[in-house]
Amino acid sequence: MAGTQLGLDRDDGEFDAIPTQVTLARSGMPAQTLPNAQWSSAMAMNDDSTADDQSAAGTQARDAHFLRHSFAVARRSMSHGNHPFAAVLVDAGGRVLIEAENGYMPARDATAHAERLVATQACTSIAADIRATATLYSSAEPCAMCAGAIYWAGIGRVVYGLSERRLRDFTGNHPENPTLDLPCRDVFASGQRTTEVVGPLLEDEAAALHIGVWDR
- For the chain, 216 residues long, give each residue's pLDDT as a single digit of tens: 333 333 323 333 333 333 346 666 533 333 444 443 343 344 444 455 576 676 788 889 999 999 999 999 999 998 999 999 999 999 999 999 999 999 989 999 999 999 999 999 999 999 999 999 999 999 999 999 999 999 999 999 999 999 999 988 888 888 888 888 899 999 999 999 999 999 999 999 999 999 888 886
First to last CA, the chain: 38
pLDDT value at position 172? 81
88/101 Cα distance (integer angstroms): 9
17/133 Cα distance (integer angstroms): 24
Q: So which residues are the catalytic ones?
A: 115
133/207 Cα distance (integer angstroms): 28
DSSP state at residue 8? B
pLDDT value at position 50? 72
Q: Which of 123, 136, 118, 147 is nearest to 20 (CA)?
A: 118
10/27 Cα distance (integer angstroms): 6
DSSP state at residue 14? P
pLDDT value at position 178? 85
- Per the CB < 8 A criterion, the answer to whether 2 and 123 are in contact is no
183/174 Cα distance (integer angstroms): 19
DSSP assignment string, 24-72? EE-TTSPP-PPPHHHHHHHH---TT--HHHHHHHHHHHHHHHHHHHHHH
pLDDT value at position 33? 44
